[in-house]
A and B are shown apart, each in its own frame.
Chain A
């Protein structure tokens, strides 16, 4: 009995020493979190507050993908517009409505919902809370709801730019594309835009494009092994530039290129959505660029529009462009860079058309 009591007491003593010992070290961290904690005191129901909430799709706010890119937009709004920001991570799709309502009922002025899957819940919430402004990332709107702005992207233009780059960079005249399923319209637009881009600058190039259509929607974005083997078999056939797009599946392709590329026979990879130089560090040495659809500024611009009173419902077309070349900047000649600038301008002013259907026909 006594030994046990002693053990428990000594455990408590040690624990308290650990806690107090940690305290000074933890102080900076505590201060860092103190800022949002202090802003948590802001009463969002008051008229002079500017509270912005974000609801993720099933996933985390630091997923190095959609959710994170959108949240970066909120962080920018916190810094530049003095917004009070908070997020709620969805753990189950049946909570979409509840999570949105948590913000709406606490007086939040702007609610950002991330991902196609939240589309229906966001429309329902926008109708239920007409005074709240909604921003839906990747949610194309067929009907205009005055307080719902759906952020969409011309992925075909982004893919087209990647295609131009690949078509000009290839030495073997064989380029490849590894994609998730083309039944998802953005993936289809990336893939077919890429095909059109390669053709526009290099009509002799052999284009190998494979969509991961043989599995369900729950697998097609999270199958890095398939991405790897598909990219590997392309490289075995002599392909030396691969555009790999589609969540973790695409990342698998990028990593495969990093494994096969050698100094005397370099193979290049092109990433997607965000600048994947940062999200897939394993592929940094082969990552030529990324076909970006930049969610962060699109989200920020919409939040700013609410603040400025210029916010509009309907569809908001976000910016698309190529990410910097980073480590491979010297490998891309000035001629190619000039051509990319020219194409990028042409796509913007409409003088160049990708001629890609918005969704897969049929």
Chain B
């Protein structure tokens, strides 16, 4: 009753909010992070920890030293690649939940190229060429794995959410089979499901000795710029975005919607595959089962938090990476469960996706035009 009486008295915003301003786009995500951290502090206090000490540890562990910074970038690299993958899909109106499987295939394919190719060619492969081959094959594997659901969507209308989820299972179980069987590290002492080490020539060299900071992070930043350029400065990008906003209008405007969907999904898969390939060639030098613990799923949260903009994805990746990396020091100082980090990340995601809560708490006006993330599901 009260509310209904009050509502008309509130003046409606006369001027439309400029949605392109950085602060307007990122106000809700930033406030979501702040709110989640405040709620997180209560949870830490509730489980018997000292919130201030915990957050101090989190900061120290993520940024407190050169090594901490280096480790944060190690976490951030796959997040950025995979986050960009999801963002590209979103821009094309496609919800790519298959990042996990595409990433795993990228890693498997890259490690295969890394250890098996010299034997197949019976020759040493020059380092640069071998690295490019391994990374390229990894990307290709991801692109194929992302392209299949794209093709099915374009040709038959099969929903990509269902298909990417199912393709995840196929990819993860196939990976499990390969790493336990034909691709298993044959050294006699090994019982772990992992590939042999890749050849020296396929390894992206470290930049600084004793630090794990690697070229993958720099490549990820460059690629974020590349994705921005592709989406907003090229014809293909325009077609992807138009298809994402309104496929009917896109078709009317003469865009080949089916082709664009396949390209967008392949591109998305290639980026996810790259995340796996870089982990293999620049960091672990092999693929081990269980290494890609949820990057593909975290990437969805990262893309949402970053509002599907490459810059936002980079920032969100750094935030998630800092939290994952700082968790060690946080637990070292306070001995509270590291699951707290997952809870805080889930809260962030909750507040970003249900942005009405954040807008209500901080009373931010709703922008006139809402971004359309996905179609389908009867909406």
Contact = CB atoms under 8 A, between A and B. Distances in A.
Interface string A214-251: 00111100000000000000000000000000000000
Interface residues of B, number: 37
B338 A93 contact: no
B35 interface: no
Contacts of A3: 2-3, 6
A305 B3 CA distance: 72
B232 interface: no
A4 B189 CA distance: 66
B192 A102 contact: no
A258 B331 CA distance: 39
B71, B74, B327, B328 pick with most chain A CB within 10 angstroms: B328
Interface string B189-213: 1011100000000000000000000
Contacts of B2: 3
Interface in A60-119: 60, 86-89, 91-95, 98-99, 102-103, 106, 116-117
Nearest to A181: B191
Interface in B317-342: 324, 327-329, 331-333, 335, 337-338
B191 A183 contact: yes
B240 to A, nearest CB: 32
Given A29-B48, A33-B48, A93 B331 contact: no
A30 B50 CA distance: 10
A216 B193 contact: yes
Q: Range of interface residues on chain A? A: 35 or more
A102 B329 contact: yes
Interface stretch (B158-166, B173-181, B220-228): B173-181
Contact of A87 (B290, B329, B335, B363): B335
B191 to A, nearest CB: 6
B10 interface: yes
Contacts of A36: 335
A95 B328 contact: yes
Interface in A170-215: 183-185
A116 B291 CA distance: 16
Interface string A6-40: 00100000000000000000000110010011001
Given A99-B328, A218-B176, A94 B191 contact: no
Contacts of A102: 328-329, 332
Contacts of A99: 328
A33 B54 CA distance: 14
Given A116-B191, A185-B191, A217-B180, A88 B290 contact: no
Given A99-B328, A102-B328, A142 B189 contact: yes
A216 B324 CA distance: 28
B7 to A, nearest CB: 11
B364 to A, nearest CB: 13
Contacts, number: 75
Contact of B331 (A4, A88, A117): A88
Majority secondary structure, A binding face = helix
B284 interface: yes
Interface string A140-169: 001000000000000000000000000000
Interface string A27-58: 00110010011001000000000000000001
A113 to B, nearest CB: 14
Given A3-B2, A60-B337, A106-B332, A30 B71 contact: no
Contacts of B333: 40
Contacts of B331: 87-89
A199 to B, nearest CB: 27
Contacts of B338: 89, 91
B283 interface: yes
B48 A88 contact: no
A124 interface: no
A334 interface: no
B100 interface: no
A88 B332 contact: yes
Nearest to B292: A92
Contacts of B315: none
B239 interface: no
A183 B181 CA distance: 12
A16 B335 CA distance: 26
B298 to A, nearest CB: 11
Nearest to A2: B6
Contacts of B363: 4
A266 B192 CA distance: 39
B304 to A, nearest CB: 22
Contact of A86 (B177, B191, B335): B335
A93 B290 CA distance: 8
A94 B284 contact: yes
Contacts of B329: 102
A331 interface: no
A88 B293 CA distance: 18
A1 interface: yes
Contacts of B327: 91
Given A33-B48, A60-B337, A91-B324, A216 B189 contact: no
A216 B177 contact: yes
Contacts of A87: 331, 335
A27 to B, nearest CB: 11
A86 B193 contact: no
Contacts of B288: 93
B289 interface: yes
A33 B50 CA distance: 10
A217 B332 contact: no
A99 B363 CA distance: 42
A216 B290 contact: no
24 contacts: A3-B2, A3-B3, A4-B360, A4-B363, A29-B48, A33-B48, A33-B49, A37-B50, A60-B337, A88-B328, A91-B327, A91-B338, A92-B291, A92-B293, A92-B324, A95-B328, A106-B332, A116-B192, A184-B191, A185-B191, A216-B177, A217-B191, A218-B289, A218-B290
Given A94-B283, A99-B328, A116-B192, 15 more contacts: A3-B6, A29-B48, A33-B48, A36-B335, A40-B333, A87-B331, A87-B335, A88-B328, A92-B293, A93-B291, A94-B74, A106-B332, A216-B177, A216-B180, A218-B289
Interface of A: 1, 3-4, 8, 29-30, 33, 36-37, 40, 58, 60, 86-89, 91-95, 98-99, 102-103, 106, 116-117, 142, 183-185, 216-219
Pairs A-B, 8 closest by C-beta atoms: A216-B180, A216-B176, A33-B48, A217-B193, A218-B289, A89-B338, A92-B293, A102-B332
